[in-house]
């Protein structure tokens, strides 16, 4: 059996969710799901470097390792969005997204990277675009091909989000028959 990997990434500045789907080339069925959570929250500021710089440095190192290990044919990342309760978080979130992209290109300059909006992610798993995290988890727990491969209740919310992102990309591959040809 021949397989390929796709990766979903839920970016952040404290935690980054990653989910790698191994896919059967012929049937496009999920062979395995590897959910991961990168924890950056305990990295503190030093005299010589602000915490954000250190977190981005660690994120880039860990993402390089993950991309090199799994060699995904494509990576889908959730779009940054402006949270009305924390609008200042958009800038650091954008830096996290750029760091993930940069790490992927460091490992493979031909990486296919796609962006997906939060509402698209929710709709891809059968939730409404206004669904909260619990509603998205409930919707995902109804998707047998996911729950057969991973217990969503035992992984972080960030890894759950990354799994939803990867699943949305897999649905697109199944519908179009194409892995995608452009960077968004």
Domains assigned to the chain: 3-176 (3.30.420.10)
pLDDT of residue 16: 97
Exposure string (b/e) for 117-151, b if CB count within 10 Å is 16 or more?
Answer: ebebbbebbebeeebeeeebbebbeebeebeebbe
Do the strands 15-24 and 30-39 form a parallel or antiparallel pair, or are they unpaired?
A: antiparallel
- The whole-model pTM stands at 0.92
Q: Give per-residue pLDDT as tens, 129-166.
A: 889 999 999 999 999 999 999 999 999 999 999 999 99
Whether the CB-CB separation of 127 and 135 falls below 8 Å is answered with yes
Give yes or no for residue 89 having a pLDDT over 80: no
Strand 15-24 to strand 3-10: parallel, antiparallel, or no bridges (unpaired)? antiparallel
């Amino acid at each position: 059996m021949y397989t390929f990997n796709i990766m979903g990434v839920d970016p952040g500045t404290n935690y980054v969710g990653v989910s790698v789907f191994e896919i059967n080339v012929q049937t496009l069925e999920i062979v395995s799901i590897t959910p991961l959570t990168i924890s950056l929250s305990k990295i503190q500021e030093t005299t010589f470097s602000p915490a954000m710089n250190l977190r981005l440095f660690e994120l880039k190192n860990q993402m390089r390792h993950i991309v090199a290990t799994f060699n995904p044919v494509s990576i889908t990342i959730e779009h940054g969005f402006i949270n009305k309760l924390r609008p200042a978080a958009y800038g650091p979130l954008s830096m996290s997204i750029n760091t993930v992209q940069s790490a992927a290109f460091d490992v493979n300059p031909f990486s296919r990277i796609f962006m997906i909006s939060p509402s698209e992610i929710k709709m891809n798993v059968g939730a409404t675009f206004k669904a909260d995290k619990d509603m998205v988890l409930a919707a995902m727990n109804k998707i047998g091909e996911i729950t057969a491969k991973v217990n969503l209740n035992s992984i972080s919310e960030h890894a759950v989000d990354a799994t939803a992102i990867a699943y949305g990309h897999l649905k697109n591959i199944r519908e179009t028959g194409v892995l995608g040809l452009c960077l968004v």
